[in-house]
Structure 1
Amino acid sequence: MTVRQFASTARRGLLSRRLLLGTVRFNSTATATATAQPSTATASAPPAESLIRLTNASIYRLGQTEAPLFQDLTWHLSTNETWAIIGPVGSGRSTLFTALQGKLRVLPAASFKYDFIRRLEEKNDGRDLWPSQLIKVVSFETTASTAAYMQERYHSYRDEDDLTLRQWVKTRDADATDADIQDAAQKLGLSHLLDGSLMNLSNGQSRRARILEALLAKPEILLLDEPFMGLDPDQRRTVSKVLRDLAETGETKVILSLRTMDRVPSWVTHTLQLSGRGKIGHIGPVEDMPTLAPEVVEEQVTIKPTKPASCRPTPGPAPSATPPVELKNVTVTHRSLQILKNISWTIHPGSRWALLGSNGSGKTTLLALILGDHPQCYSQDISMFGRRRGTGETLWSVQREIGHVSPEVHNHFPRDMRVLEAVFGGWYENRYVAKSSVTPKQKDAARALLEEFGLQGLEDKEFGNLSTGEQRLVLICRALITRPKLLILDEPFQGMDEGMVSKCKKWLDEKLGEEQALVFVTHVQEEVAGCIDRVVRLDKGEVVEMK
């Protein structure tokens, strides 16, 4: 027996055991595609190009046969359909993605058929025909070690260790050719960044880089969890076109996961709508779903000149009031690339700012200077709370006056920390807070704030066991708990559903203190709180609007 034959035999033996466990099932006789049906309907014979079929299937966590995550689900996917799974936070969208990859238990075993894998087997495709290898997920969740301190985005890298985007792609996929990388990067608007620093990519650019990595893997099916989040309008259109072309050519089938409030691309043909945790509200053609949010032409975010009546009034700055932030002629370069140019900006107590600009315009670097995360913050003319940076102050003495939420903070936040401890941490420099050091008054304040944001009952849950939206709410509570003089909310509503966003905007409008300054970053008009009445807009590292 050759090594290849032995490997094939061993793989089929392991596959047989997984079939018995109900985690992977192939159907060697299926020859058809079924149109999607409600979960209560009787399955009909699928027509010729069936992709995947679940018929009266119940989905469980591995090792469990009780309390199914989904029950009696009938969902048939065809090669000529492009699907979007739509639902609120915590409704089970990620669970369905995990099930499609063959990583959950599905019973009865015969209820789950990978028809596309059967066809690949018949062609002697030569690849490892495992669902987890053929179906890729782009979820934008980090796997970075939580041992790295949250604020170490720049300091944890030495210049000689920093990879370029091209080098990073090759470490992820050694088989990717330069031509393939260049072609995919061009489509995603990343070609000019291929030989630039990976560390200096903005949040939106990093998300497109993750999509680039997935495209180069050339999976049979690509599952994308909220792929347009964190992208400016131009880049949302760019990514949408790339995915549309991918879906239309049929080389890779695309399935999206979207929140109820998200706009659905026009090239999506079918939707599975979740009405609650594990509850199916609709399965079928997109035209049969009347509550769908339509795709619209999006323009840049604007700020209304007048505040709504519900907003808490904020007085203008007192002549003697010390500004939380003063930047004078700030210029930042990295490897001869100019990132910021001559930025002057004063943030007064009680002011409500929107920091706007496209992906890569310099917003992340500007905030890193203010927060003290960027190594060049001490060589610039920056004053924080009346004191010139680099004159003997400690990092903590400045940061304890700042509440901060961002994608980077979220990505590096320890997943094993319990919710109440996470909120306590806003008062303390150390990441882990001894319970004995927390006062009864602080405990009461933390519990009250969690209740205001609808998180009561989650105090003892681990952060990593919450939905993405719940995690963001916890981090917002952490940022607010000390009533900081400066609140920086950098794309804080990513992963939240419409109800969560509405609750946060209402809190900012009505309860943010008169003396508290706010800097808010977003690419979505609907996320802008009514209290925000000032704007600074960046383009290619320069201020193009300030009013």
Structure 2
Amino acid sequence: MSEPVVHITNLHLRYHHKTVLQDLNWTINRGENWLLRGSSGSGKTSVAKAIAGLVKFEGDIDINFDLHSSLAPVAHYVANWYQFKDLEGQSNFYYQQRYNKQAEETTATVRAELENYGKNYHLDFAEAERLVTALGFSDLIDSTLIQLSSGEHKKLQLVEALWFRPQLLMMDQPYNGLDKLSRQHLNSLLEEISAAGTQLVLISNDKDLPSCINRFAEIKGGQLHETDAGHTAHFQEEENRPVPEFLSEGPISLADSIVKMNNVNISYGDKQVLKNINWEVKAGEKWLLQGHNGSGKSTLLSLITGDHPQAYANDFSLFGHRRGSGESIWDIKKRMGLISPELQWYFDPSATVKQSIISGFFDSSGLFRQPNYTQQMQANELIGYFGLKEYQDTLMNQLPLGKQRLAFLARTIIKNPELLILDEPCQGLDQHQAQHFNELVDELCSNGTTLIYVGHFESQLPACIEKRILLENGEVKSVETILESI
């Protein structure tokens, strides 16, 4: 009998004075491909990072690579989002920078990033090009990294991981930001590398998995428990709390139309990203914005949030006023709240949960002003409403993902905005977390708040959604009513 690839004995790991893993044991035998489930903060990521040698731990982890294999003798961990640097090695980007022409000149293109990656690991670039094509990413190969959306960053991260072909590949939330078709393509590629000898550990609560996954486990109470394929991770029931009184009355909208676009076009050089977009969002409406990766959703939202400079060159109105008629970007932002993957990437890592929530009053990526008494009291109410009291002094980037999203929702809603924009807010959340999050959205929007919600999957949407706009290749493919307002 051959020795196991990974043998873990009595793994103990603490993270910021909290025990995450307690005497965990796990054996990964040759030919096994695992799915690792668990609630947010249960320790899934910590186990993978420990195997990859990226965190300190107590206990024993023995890894036995096949020295006769052509695959890299590496336990390779792929994080849940792609982190990149500019040409000077800096990574302190800010949210609006992706629309800054100068920033494009200081960040590498996708092609250059891949060429550098291939050079470092002595890989054949032709294989990278094949993977780029397979993931539907080839038309962006000459785009700069800062121009990419969250789903496009994920595809680049996946291309590099699949191209590397390690003996053990551990992927944390590999489906984040991917549309349904891209997920299918990824599963085909995972089955391909598995057949070639790479063993997989996928950290995910998704149901659509590659057929090569043949072992299942859940981390609960700091230990690993093997389960069957149909097992659902254990979740604690969420406590229902009354909505804070200051949010019970709807925001006052002075215009019937919140967003109005007439034949809007956006181009980058010779590439047209949005083509003749006509769309009106009226006060109080709840919209779903959908489209495949690269369809133009992120660019469309950047016009609404005031971050895209080409808004001024189009017939486009917000809150009843034509863009460019004298309002500042801050005049716009104080009337809306936003959650997006990009905002989370660029958020101040030194901000605590409470500071982050209060920063929503000032539309800043961190708290750089002293709040008044009323603002502090409203933040306290929201912290209680979202069940975050025990985390209020914790740094945002130290929170489990599910708690992070609740804190960002609190930050987004704190000023009772007229327009709430939620761009894939459930990305990376399990079904239970997504359901809880969307139930909160339904409750918070019941006061008449206008909502634009971006989500790929109908199973992870708020019940209040009334209408849908679908983009395809930068054009409006369809607009439809999902349900009639009551």
- TM-score, normalization by structure 1: 0.77
Deviation string, structure 1 residues 58-95 (Cα, Å, up to 9, x no partner): 32359x9x975423322111221101111111010001
* 1:538 partnered with 2:477: no
Which structure has the bigger radius of gyration? Answer: 1
Please give the residue correspondences for 1:286-435 in structure 2 after superposition, counting only pairs within 5 Å: 286=228, 290-291=231-232, 321-433=255-367
Counterpart CA distance in 2 for 1:223 and 1:113 is: 16
Matched with 1:173 is: 118
Matched with 1:438 is: 371
Matched with 2:81 is: 140
Deviation of 1:493 after TM superposition, in Å, equals 1.1
Q: Is the 8 A contact 1:487 1:519 kept in 2?
A: yes
Deviation of 1:396 after TM superposition, in Å, equals 0.7
Deviation string, structure 1 residues 39-60 (Cα, Å, up to 9, x no partner): xxxxxxxx215211113x2323
Deviation of 1:100 after TM superposition, in Å, equals 0.6
Matched with 2:7 is: 53
Counterpart CA distance in 1 for 2:83 and 2:125 is: 26
The aligned amino acid for 2:112 is Q
Q: Is the 8 A contact 1:163 1:197 kept in 2?
A: yes
* 1:224 partnered with 2:162: no
Q: Is the 8 A contact 2:43 2:219 kept in 1?
A: yes
Q: Percent identity?
A: 30
Deviation of 1:107 after TM superposition, in Å, equals 4.3
Q: Which consecutive unaligned segments of at least 5 residues does structure 2 have?
A: 235-248, 481-486
Counterpart CA distance in 1 for 2:478 and 2:209 is: 31
The aligned amino acid for 1:78 is N
Please give the residue correspondences for 1:23-42 in structure 2 after superposition, counting only pairs within 5 Å: none
* 1:271 partnered with 2:216: yes
Counterpart CA distance in 2 for 1:223 and 1:509 is: 35
Deviation of 1:371 after TM superposition, in Å, equals 1.2
The aligned amino acid for 2:211 is S
The aligned amino acid for 1:203 is S
Matched with 2:204 is: 258
Matched with 1:500 is: 433
Q: Is the 8 A contact 2:255 2:320 kept in 1?
A: no
- Secondary structure at 2:284 match in 1: coil
Q: Which of 58, 63, 67 is equivalent to 1:114?
A: 63
Q: Which of 156, 161, 173 is equivalent to 1:214?
A: 161
- Secondary structure at 1:345 match in 2: strand
- Secondary structure at 1:391 match in 2: coil
Deviation of 1:162 after TM superposition, in Å, equals 5.0
The aligned amino acid for 1:364 is S
Counterpart CA distance in 1 for 2:451 and 2:268 is: 28
Counterpart CA distance in 2 for 1:173 and 1:165 is: 12
Counterpart CA distance in 2 for 1:418 and 1:159 is: 31
Counterpart CA distance in 1 for 2:185 and 2:399 is: 31
Matched with 1:32 is: none
* 1:80 partnered with 2:21: no
Q: Is the 8 A contact 2:295 2:474 kept in 1?
A: yes
The aligned amino acid for 1:167 is A
The aligned amino acid for 2:6 is I
Deviation of 1:347 after TM superposition, in Å, equals 1.2
- Secondary structure at 1:369 match in 2: helix
- Secondary structure at 1:220 match in 2: strand
Aligned length in residues: 461
Q: Is the 8 A contact 1:470 1:496 kept in 2?
A: no
The structure-2 alpha-carbon separation of the partners of 1:192 and 1:380, relative to structure 1 and needing over 3 Å to count, comes to same
The structure-2 alpha-carbon separation of the partners of 1:434 and 1:356, relative to structure 1 and needing over 3 Å to count, comes to closer
The aligned amino acid for 1:445 is Q
Matched with 2:42 is: 91
* 1:101 partnered with 2:46: no
Counterpart CA distance in 2 for 1:405 and 1:482 is: 14
The structure-2 alpha-carbon separation of the partners of 1:481 and 1:213, relative to structure 1 and needing over 3 Å to count, comes to same
Matched with 1:42 is: none
Deviation string, structure 1 residues 239-279 (Cα, Å, up to 9, x no partner): 011011111221x22110013x6444432100121234x13
Counterpart CA distance in 1 for 2:478 and 2:278 is: 12
Please give the residue correspondences for 1:11-22 in structure 2 after superposition, counting only pairs within 5 Å: none
Deviation string, structure 1 residues 265-314 (Cα, Å, up to 9, x no partner): 432100121234x133x226x45x64489xxxxxxxxxxxxxxxxxxxx9
The aligned amino acid for 1:142 is Q
The structure-2 alpha-carbon separation of the partners of 1:405 and 1:291, relative to structure 1 and needing over 3 Å to count, comes to closer
Matched with 1:455 is: 388
Deviation string, structure 1 residues 397-443 (Cα, Å, up to 9, x no partner): 111111000010011111110111111111114545356x3122211
Q: Is the 8 A contact 1:58 1:69 kept in 2?
A: no
Q: Is the 8 A contact 1:150 1:409 kept in 2?
A: yes
Q: Is the 8 A contact 1:89 1:495 kept in 2?
A: no
Deviation of 1:172 after TM superposition, in Å, equals 3.1
Deviation of 1:506 after TM superposition, in Å, equals 1.8
Deviation string, structure 1 residues 76-122 (Cα, Å, up to 9, x no partner): 112211011111110100010111112344544xx421121xx42xx
Q: Which of 152, 155, 162 is equivalent to 2:97?
A: 152
Counterpart CA distance in 1 for 2:309 and 2:117 is: 28
Q: Is the 8 A contact 1:469 1:494 kept in 2?
A: no
The structure-2 alpha-carbon separation of the partners of 1:90 and 1:521, relative to structure 1 and needing over 3 Å to count, comes to same
Deviation of 1:218 after TM superposition, in Å, equals 2.7
Matched with 2:237 is: none
Matched with 1:527 is: 460
- Secondary structure at 1:181 match in 2: helix
Q: Is the 8 A contact 1:155 1:373 kept in 2?
A: no
Counterpart CA distance in 2 for 1:112 and 1:365 is: 45
Counterpart CA distance in 1 for 2:194 and 2:404 is: 32
- Secondary structure at 1:457 match in 2: helix
Counterpart CA distance in 1 for 2:364 and 2:24 is: 46
Please give the residue correspondences for 1:117-128 in structure 2 after superposition, counting only pairs within 5 Å: 119-120=66-67
Deviation string, structure 1 residues 469-509 (Cα, Å, up to 9, x no partner): 21121111111000111110000112333343223222222
Q: Is the 8 A contact 2:171 2:202 kept in 1?
A: yes
Counterpart CA distance in 2 for 1:228 and 1:342 is: 31
Counterpart CA distance in 1 for 2:70 and 2:188 is: 29
The structure-2 alpha-carbon separation of the partners of 1:242 and 1:154, relative to structure 1 and needing over 3 Å to count, comes to same
The aligned amino acid for 1:51 is V
Q: Which of 378, 395, 399 is equivalent to 1:466?
A: 399
Counterpart CA distance in 1 for 2:94 and 2:104 is: 18
RMSD value, Cα: 3.0
Q: Is the 8 A contact 1:81 1:269 kept in 2?
A: yes
Counterpart CA distance in 1 for 2:408 and 2:279 is: 27
